[in-house]
Amino acid sequence: MPHDTAIARLRNLLGDRLSTSDAIRDHHGQNESYYPVTLPDAVAFPASTEEVSAVMTICHEEGCPVVAWGTGTSLEGHALAFRGGITLDLSRMDKVLQVNDEDLDVVIQPGVTREALNTELRATGLFFPIDPGANASLGGMAATRASGTTAVRYGTMKDNVLALEVVLADGRVIRTGTRARKSSAGYDLTRLMVGSEGTLGIITELTLKLHGQPEAISSAICAFDGIDAAVSAVQMVIQMGIPVARIEFVDAMSIRGFNVHAGTAMPEMPHLFLEFHGSEGAVAEQAERVGEIVAEFGGGDFQWTNKPEERNALWHMRHNAYYAAKALRPGCWVLTTDVCVPISRLAEAVTVTRADIDASALEATILGHVGDGNFHCAILVDPDSPAELAEARELAHRMNARALAMGGTVTGEHGVGLGKMKYMDEEHGAAWAVMAQIKRALDPSNILNPGKMVEVN
């Protein structure tokens, strides 16, 4: 067996929390996208920072790859141990360690999930806003620099992590940042670790900013005749500085998916889904102003509501967009791609992407967190058709190329993983080599999620 010395030493350390069983390896070889199942040699379930450190020390000595695992919801094959070695599953480190309500922060272990955290916080009047839809672990969300529907108002993981504890490749344990809201003391190692996808260190503790639960929340929905009108309305809302909490675009094909998957009967037209947070007065004012903008762009029948059950149904539907897309073609694989462009280019980017899909033989949905200029495309592929997969890749490729040509990025939030490696050179140019220099400095034997993010050889 490859890495058998490392695995034997890890078994000594962890006992039955080191597994080589097929079932467990298989679970950790899966992914939420179309990448082939890829089994690690073993799966470790550490229970503490000390254990993570001990694991890293052993793997460092033995040259054994270590791929962190949160909940496995990332969409570009990030957590697949495609060069073998062990998967380090952090789901047992799932404690909320400290709720500092006076300081609006919380200290947690990396395996705490977004939903578990918000359940824990409910009574405090505070919440953690970042919402990537999936019930991901906070460690994984930090590692992918996740964002989602609320980033337009509350920022991404980059903006909401105050401090981290990280175990480095050689087992050293460091703390980055403090509980102070800001600091100019030294290099921003926190932001260096956020988004590093497990290639620079293992996050073993996070201090996160919290926000007050809004006094009032309302949601709204509105249909448009065309993509251009819907997206142009979004551009105007952002340019006017209206502090919407969510502003989501879903195209007609996505609506068709919702109708099939959730049994709704919405008109199959491009829509905006919105949410407003604030005082009663502020929420009403925001909704009214957005209503005016939407009307200007021909948006029909702008409806807004304060009813929590209607709002929850709306976001539940939105969060299931991926599965709704799948429902359009039972048994299909979904190739999801995620780009982000300057907001002035958004309408063009979405329109051209839609036309490109329509000209292809494939079905796909487009939807996005358009307030940030971020949108996704979910392309439905017959798993048994290499031709379809090839065509889907071509569609995705052109979408990425357009985003770059528009001064944007090949991933607004999903991250690099395996799928976006091929664009790193073009997006970053000479800066990509600088990333590799940093990787080499911090992980000289290249054991942390090797083969991802940078090329070190």
Residues binding ligand FAD (CB under 6 A): 32, 67-75, 78-79, 90, 110, 132-134, 136-137, 139-141, 143-144, 146-148, 197-198, 202-203, 322, 413-415, 449
Convert residues 205-224 into a mask of x (bound to its own copies by CB under 8 A) and - (unbound): ------xx------------
* Residue 457 contact, options its own copies, ligand FAD, none, Cβ 5-8 Å cut-off depending on partner type: none
| 422 touches its own copies (CB under 8 A) | no
Residues in 126-185 at the binding interface with its own copies, rule: CB under 8 A:
144-147, 151, 155-156, 158-159, 168, 172-176, 178-185
* Residue 32 contact, options ligand FAD, its own copies, none, Cβ 5-8 Å cut-off depending on partner type: ligand FAD
* Residue 202 contact, options its own copies, ligand FAD, none, Cβ 5-8 Å cut-off depending on partner type: ligand FAD
> In terms of residues, how long is the chain?
457
* 219: enclosing H helix or E strand: strand 216-223
For its own copies, give the closer residue by CB, 92 or 289. 289
Measured distance CA(229)–CA(223) in Å, rounded: 10
Query: Tokens at residue 75, please?
Result: 């969409």
253-259: Cβ within 8 A, 24+ apart: 253/328, 253/363, 253/364, 253/365, 253/366, 254/321, 254/324, 254/325, 254/365, 254/366, 254/367, 256/328, 257/321, 257/324, 257/325, 257/327, 257/328, 257/365, 258/317, 258/320, 258/321, 258/324
- Strand partners for 336: 378
φ, ψ of residue 246 to 5 degrees: the values are -145, 140
Question: Dihedral sign, CA of 150, 151, 157, 163?
Answer: negative
| Least separation in angstroms between CB 427 and ligand FAD | 18
| Least separation in angstroms between CB 338 and ligand FAD | 8
- Beta-carbon count within 10 A of 363 CB: 18
The window from 56-64, 253-261, 356-364, 408-416 that contacts its own copies (CB under 8 A) reads 408-416
Place of tokens 């040259």: 63
| 72 touches its own copies (CB under 8 A) | no
| Least separation in angstroms between CB 213 and its own copies | 9
For its own copies, give the closer residue by CB, 19 or 74. 74
For its own copies, give the closer residue by CB, 80 or 167. 167
| Least separation in angstroms between CB 146 and ligand FAD | 3
Residues in 312-351 at the binding interface with its own copies, rule: CB under 8 A:
340-344
For ligand FAD, give the closer residue by CB, 208 or 293. 208
Pairing relationship of beta strands 300-305 and 246-250 according to DSSP bridges = unpaired
For ligand FAD, give the closer residue by CB, 40 or 140. 140
Distance between start and end Cα atoms, the chain? 25
Angle between the N-to-C axes of helices 280-296 and 227-239, in degrees from 0 to 180, rounded to the nearest 10 = 140
Query: Tokens at residue 440, please?
Result: 């080499």
Judged by CB under 8 A, which of 16, 102, 309, 384 binds its own copies?
102
* Residue 186 contact, options its own copies, ligand FAD, none, Cβ 5-8 Å cut-off depending on partner type: its own copies
Residues in 365-404 at the binding interface with its own copies, rule: CB under 8 A:
372-374, 403
| Least separation in angstroms between CB 416 and its own copies | 6
Q: Residue 88: CB partners within 8 Å, gap ≥ 6? A: 44, 46, 52, 55, 66, 67, 68, 69, 202
The window from 11-19, 23-31, 111-119, 406-414 that contacts its own copies (CB under 8 A) reads 406-414
Q: Residue 61: CB partners within 8 Å, gap ≥ 6? A: none
* Residue 318 contact, options ligand FAD, its own copies, none, Cβ 5-8 Å cut-off depending on partner type: none
CB 230 within 8 A of CB 270: yes
For ligand FAD, give the closer residue by CB, 35 or 322. 322
Beta strands of 34-150 (E only): which ranges?
Answer: 42-44, 66-69, 86-89, 96-100, 105-108, 126-127
Query: Tokens at residue 222, please?
Result: 């509105």
For its own copies, give the closer residue by CB, 36 or 281. 281
Residues in 221-280 at the binding interface with its own copies, rule: CB under 8 A:
235, 238-241, 279
For its own copies, give the closer residue by CB, 14 or 424. 424
For its own copies, give the closer residue by CB, 25 or 246. 246
| 412 touches its own copies (CB under 8 A) | yes
For ligand FAD, give the closer residue by CB, 307 or 316. 316
Measured distance CA(171)–CA(52) in Å, rounded: 8
